């Protein structure tokens, strides 16, 4: 798929302003950006009505066999389905978060951030940025790689990394380990 300029509806409720929705923009054959709009239920407490996020999805990482198994077998395997599946299962790079009361302004900010990331240098910087408390980069988060951040954190005596390691979240492959070992 070639790079598109516009976001198109991906999934969600027909009344997405009240119940949420997501939109996708393909960035070539390998990547897509997803904007997701979430109405905030307790907006009286937070003072904000909406939360909008921008995520980067690596389309080739979709496991078509798992998608087919989850969707009941007979499914049209499209890049839209792959992106939706990856995003729903958390296989995306967090690239931007926006919250406030004007969903149009928040969506505009997310679209602008997506276009900024068409610049290779800006995208590289965004993918190397830590996105959670244990220090996972956006790229590691997208891959589901917690071990790299935990190992960095253990080397720096991070209490969060130590806790994650104690919880068994550290998965280190040893030299010589393979599928038969």
- The token pair at 43 is 């907006």
The answer to whether residue 181 sits within a structural domain is: no
The answer to whether residue 168 sits within a structural domain is: no
Gap between the Cα atoms of 181 and 166, Å rounded: 24
The answer to whether residue 99 sits within a structural domain is: yes
* pLDDT tens string 4-45: 789 999 999 899 999 999 999 999 878 999 999 999 987 677
Total structural domains in the chain?
A: 1
Closest CA to 23 of 103, 77, 102: 103
The answer to whether residue 35 sits within a structural domain is: yes
The pTM of this model reads 0.84
Gap between the Cα atoms of 120 and 56, Å rounded: 14
The answer to whether residue 180 sits within a structural domain is: no
Q: Is the pLDDT of residue 121 over 70?
A: yes
pLDDT of residue 28: 81
The answer to whether residue 153 sits within a structural domain is: no
**Least confident range of 2-6, 112-116, 124-128, 175-179:** 175-179
The answer to whether residue 142 sits within a structural domain is: no
Count the alpha carbons within 13 Å of 171 in the hemisphere toward its beta carbon. Answer: 4
* pLDDT tens string 103-113: 999 999 999 99
Torsion of Cα atoms, 48 then 50 then 55 then 57, to 10°: 160
The answer to whether residue 141 sits within a structural domain is: no
Domain around 47: 8-129
């Amino acid at each position: 798929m070639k790079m598109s300029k516009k976001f198109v509806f991906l999934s969600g409720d027909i009344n997405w302003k009240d119940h949420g929705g997501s939109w996708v923009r393909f960035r070539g054959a390998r990547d897509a950006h997803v904007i997701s709009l979430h109405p905030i239920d307790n907006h009286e407490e937070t003072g904000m009505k909406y939360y909008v996020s921008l995520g980067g999805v690596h389309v080739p990482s979709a496991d078509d066999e798992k998608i087919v198994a989850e969707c009941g077998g007979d499914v049209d395997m499209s890049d839209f389905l792959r992106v939706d599946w990856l995003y729903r299962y958390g296989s995306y790079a967090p690239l931007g978060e926006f919250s406030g009361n004007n969903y149009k302004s928040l969506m505009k900010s997310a679209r602008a951030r997506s276009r900024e990331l068409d610049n290779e240098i800006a995208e590289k910087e965004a993918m190397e940025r830590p996105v959670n408390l244990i220090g996972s980069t956006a790229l590691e988060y997208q891959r589901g790689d917690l071990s790299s951040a935990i190992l960095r954190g253990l080397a720096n005596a991070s209490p969060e990394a130590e806790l994650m390691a104690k919880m068994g979240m550290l998965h280190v492959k040893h030299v010589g380990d393979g599928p038969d070992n």
